[in-house]
Structure 1
Amino acid sequence: MGVWSFILGAVFLLLILVVICFLLYCGYIYYMHMKYDHIPGAPRDSFLFGHSPTIIKLMRNNMVIYDTFLEWAEKYGPVIRVNGLHNVMVLIISPEGVKEFLMSPKYTKDPFYKRIENLFGTRFMGKGLVTDRDYDHWHKQRRIMDPAFSRTYLIGLMGTFNEKAEDLVDTLGDKADGKCQVGMHDMLSRLTLDVIAKVAFGMELNSLHNDQTPFPRAISTVMKGMIETRNPLAMVLPGKQAFIRDVKENINLLRKTGQECIKRRMKAIQEGDDIPVDILTQILKGAELEDGCNQEDLIDNFVTFFIAGQETTANQLSFAVMELARNPEILTRVQTEVDEVIGSKRDIEYEDLGKLQYLSQTLKETLRLYPTAPGTSRVLEEEMVIEGVRIPPRTTLMFNSYIMGRMEKFFHDPLVFNPDRFHPDAPKPGYAYFPFSLGPRSCIGQVFAQMEAKVVMAKLLQRFEFELVEGQTFKILDTGTLRPLDGVICKLRPRAEHKSKK
């Protein structure tokens, strides 16, 4: 009896401790409510979980949570509270707020980026350019990387852009019979993967012709893993364990690929081979200039550029094809421009890109409706009044180009696809459009991405007519970046104009 009494007593004490901890945690949540409840926001789903049930439900149904946030912004104003357990984030839908926080280096990225540093306990992007929260360290990295994105170097990439885009149109040409159904997102993802691998790291993946390559699925899986981290219980839910293992395996695949690529380049340098001034060379140069930099730090930036350079451009191109196929008048207009500027020539020159004004407007309008990287966040360390609302110190602030791009107060008829919004003479709202972020931490690769997108789109428009297969929903899938849910399934036909010019 003595042993059983001891066990029962221990269990009883443990239960008391659990209850006390739970009550203390509830008290902390109540304190956070008191601290932030003066900020407008939708009613919480529950005292304990805040808005998390709504967000998780949207994720399970493949809905875009930013559409719900957009509804809240329309109803509750430009400063909105979002509760999740004890965490509170504040969504800022204000050009003045965007200008204040994104244009200044004094506001650091918030702890959300730690989830991308280490995904489910596995090192993912680490301290790469996207995730580095130490501004001084990030700035040092950025200066080192700048030569790989200089105008001179980018002009030198036109040959690769043309080569890989020509490979795509040749592949699509075999399917362009007006009957074969082509998943454009899949094809464009393979193309952009081949481009970034070649121009950034000197790798020939040839994924356009290799259905067995593991990289497209690996990138897609780890991006889905990023979304799952929005669920605070993801790590402990029994049904998620197999998926989490899959995410970790694919992270390890990407990092091992980076490790092998770095070793090959270091060997080439040691043997005195000619080395391009590409992203990989700059990553290694950074290691020489920074004390204490180890191989894992180098791999961080490999993974960062490998994913960012592939995913966002493929998504933008896919949405552009989708919208052009839905808007025949716009399609005809942009095809006419391509015919006038490019004609039937195979190699597009750098000087041609500046002449493709309407195509530029079309790509910008695509990013207004479908910013592939929809938002960013910052930490407010000191109390501040924003749009008449007092924000407590040490608050995470969220900024979202998707939401602002779809609001009538910033863009007339915001759901209408209209490239003329971006005509050079058209009035534009300040600080309401930031698909590549703004300020010192804006995307280093945005010029690279738009050059690549122009070359690819010009060749597609030069060669093909697009017809969307019926039954597609045109919904958006949020996988950390935004992509077309149904993959933009098209039937292609050769353009008569191009055939006649040949």
Structure 2
Amino acid sequence: MAVFHMLLSWAAQALIFLLFLALIAFLGYCLYIKHIHMKYDHIPGPPRDSFLFGHSPTFLRIMKNEGLLHDKFLEWAERYGPVYKIYALHYVLLCVTCPEATKEILMSPKYPKDKFLYKRLFNLFGQRFLGNGLVTAQDHELWYKQRRIMDPAFSSLYLRGLMGTFNERAEKLMIKLSGIADDKTDANMLHLVNCVTLDVIAKVAFGVDLDLLTTSSPFPKAIETCLKGMVYYVRDKFFEFNPKNRPFINEVKEACRLLRTTGAKWINERKTAMRNGDDVPKDILTQIIKSAGKEESMTQEDEEFMLDNFVTFFIAGQETTANQLAFCIMELARHPDILEKALKEVDEVIGMKQDISYDDLGQLNYLSQVLKETLRVYPTAPGTSRDVVEDIVIDGINIPAGVTCLFSSYVTGRLDKFFKDPLTFDPDRFHHDAPKPYYCYYPFALGPRSCLGQNFAQMEAKVVMAKLLQRFEFTLLPGQTFDILDTGTLRPKSGVVCSIRHRSHKK
């Protein structure tokens, strides 16, 4: 019994000692947070929700209510000016709308991608996601090597050669819409354009026919699940520790595995064809294989590296373009005068032709303006971030090194000081005679890390929109909202549900 009491006494002392150490560690962490706050207290910003968690409770409330975090960033930008600070634990984020600072930081390779965010995108809940692909690579040399290898798959000459596929896949959408018009059923345009853009990227980038408009596939759901998981993983540090979230987390991990196992299968099939001396296209899949080096000396990490870029292009190549198309259809349906001008141009340039040529795209100037204005109001990839590794001055405010700067094209696109009446949808803002926005419009980011596929995406969007305008009239069904759903990318919350009719051409 005496031994038992002695052991109990030792256990109690050990527990008290551990609690004391935990208290010391916690106080030390609080002092560290205080030290960080003091470094940046001179910068304007909204009041913190709490000393420890900073502004995180505000973000979590918005997410819980399915609100749009970027609207809060916009509200704060209007109140606190071109640079303001927000806190989360010991992390400091500066939201920057100053064009000069935007130019300085985004146009230079010396400001690396935000290590916190892009490390979180490496995996989702422990399952590898984007890894060290072209979007997430933080080391400039690693990124530059990949970009140099990928460039041929996005050259002007190669993109011209994709017009046949763009036309063919868009034509399948027209056939689907024709059936919907004949049956007088409703069309969820977001779902339909998602099918088309996923079909296009699968075909032109990886040489695979999915034909999603007529067959079912797990890929659209997997992409949506990964993106939703990404939002929680990045914005809520404690999400994965809540047992109630475990089923959803397992869904996210399974979706990641599906994309990567599919990528491994397609890559191995292409590598076999290359080893056999078969003719293979100079598409993204071929470039991904080349980027990993010689196949005979492949390591496990090289294999994962290829899959990183597969997942990156598979998601980035379709999600944002589909959302842009859906928003564009929504806005044209809401603005008959703008729709009329777009129809007139399409009739003049395309007429009754079934196949749209590369030269035709160059003449669709007003449609280009409509698509650009869509991305101003609804930048589907709404922002990017960079780490500031040396002291700088932004708008006259001294910024100590060690902070992350967030650049939101959503915020700058909706600020009155950059765009008059910013909530008015006006494609003439992008007329060739109109003044060009100065570093406040960047839906594809800016500088060396800007989106490699932006010309690809806009060509595809133009072909789909031109064919849609050429063939059909579309009317928004009443009762749906025009709210934005934030799934990492921005998409129309209601799906843009339309009634579709065949267009009668006046002779």
TM range (shorter): over 0.9
The 8 Å contact of residues 178 and 491 in structure 1, kept in 2 or not, is answered as: no
Pick the aligned partner of 1:87 from 80, 87, 91.
91
Match of 1:57 in 2: 61
Q: Secondary structure at the match of 2:438?
A: coil
User: In the TM superposition, what are the counterparts of 1:339-378 in structure 2 within 5 Å?
Assistant: 339-378=347-386
Q: How far is the alpha carbon of 1:210 from its aligned partner?
A: 1.7
Distance 2:214 2:15 in 1: 62
The 8 Å contact of residues 192 and 314 in structure 1, kept in 2 or not, is answered as: yes
Matched, 1:71 2:75: yes
Match of 1:11 in 2: 15
CA-to-partner distance for each residue in 1:132-156, whole Å, 9 max, x for gaps? Answer: 0111111111011000001111000
Residue identity opposite 1:196 in structure 2: I
Residue identity opposite 1:222 in structure 2: C
Match of 1:436 in 2: 444
Matched, 1:235 2:250: no
Matched, 1:203 2:208: yes
Provide the aligned length of Structure 1 versus Structure 2.
Answer: 498
Q: Secondary structure at the match of 2:240?
A: coil
Residue identity opposite 2:152 in structure 1: P
Residue identity opposite 2:161 in structure 1: G
Match of 2:189 in 1: 184
Residue identity opposite 1:189 in structure 2: N
Question: Normalization by structure 2: what TM-score?
Answer: 0.96
Distance 2:130 2:26 in 1: 34
Pick the aligned partner of 1:314 from 306, 314, 322.
322
Unaligned runs of 5+ in 1: none
Q: Secondary structure at the match of 2:121?
A: helix
Matched, 1:2 2:10: no
Q: How far is the alpha carbon of 1:235 from its aligned partner?
A: 1.7
Pick the aligned partner of 1:485 from 482, 485, 493.
493
More displaced stretch, 5-14 vs 284-293:
284-293
Match of 1:254 in 2: 259
Match of 1:161 in 2: 166
CA-to-partner distance for each residue in 1:41-68, whole Å, 9 max, x for gaps? Answer: 0000111111000011111111111111
Residue identity opposite 2:250 in structure 1: R
Q: How far is the alpha carbon of 1:17 from its aligned partner?
A: 2.0
Distance of aligned partners of 1:178 and 1:400 in 2 relative to their CA distance in 1, 3 Å threshold: farther
Match of 2:283 in 1: 278
Unaligned runs of 5+ in 2: none
The 8 Å contact of residues 178 and 493 in structure 1, kept in 2 or not, is answered as: no
Residue identity opposite 1:199 in structure 2: V
Q: How far is the alpha carbon of 1:177 from its aligned partner?
A: 4.6
Q: How far is the alpha carbon of 1:289 from its aligned partner?
A: 6.5
Residue identity opposite 2:202 in structure 1: A
Q: How far is the alpha carbon of 1:178 from its aligned partner?
A: 8.3
Match of 1:151 in 2: 156
Distance 1:179 1:92 in 2: 48
Pick the aligned partner of 2:425 from 411, 417, 429.
417
Pick the aligned partner of 2:405 from 375, 397, 411.
397
Distance 1:469 1:102 in 2: 41
CA-to-partner distance for each residue in 1:12-53, whole Å, 9 max, x for gaps? Answer: 222222222221221111112111111100000111111000
Distance 1:470 1:11 in 2: 64
Q: How far is the alpha carbon of 1:179 from its aligned partner?
A: 4.2
Distance 1:51 1:389 in 2: 22
Give the alignment's Cα RMSD to 1 decimal: 1.3
Matched, 1:171 2:171: no
Distance 2:67 2:200 in 1: 31
Match of 1:305 in 2: 313
Match of 1:459 in 2: 467
Question: Normalization by structure 1: what TM-score?
Answer: 0.97
Q: Secondary structure at the match of 2:236?
A: coil
Match of 1:41 in 2: 45
Residue identity opposite 1:123 in structure 2: R
Q: How far is the alpha carbon of 1:11 from its aligned partner?
A: 2.1
Match of 2:271 in 1: 266
Q: Secondary structure at the match of 1:176?
A: helix
Q: How far is the alpha carbon of 1:271 from its aligned partner?
A: 1.5
User: In the TM superposition, what are the counterparts of 1:112-127 in structure 2 within 5 Å?
Assistant: 112-127=117-132
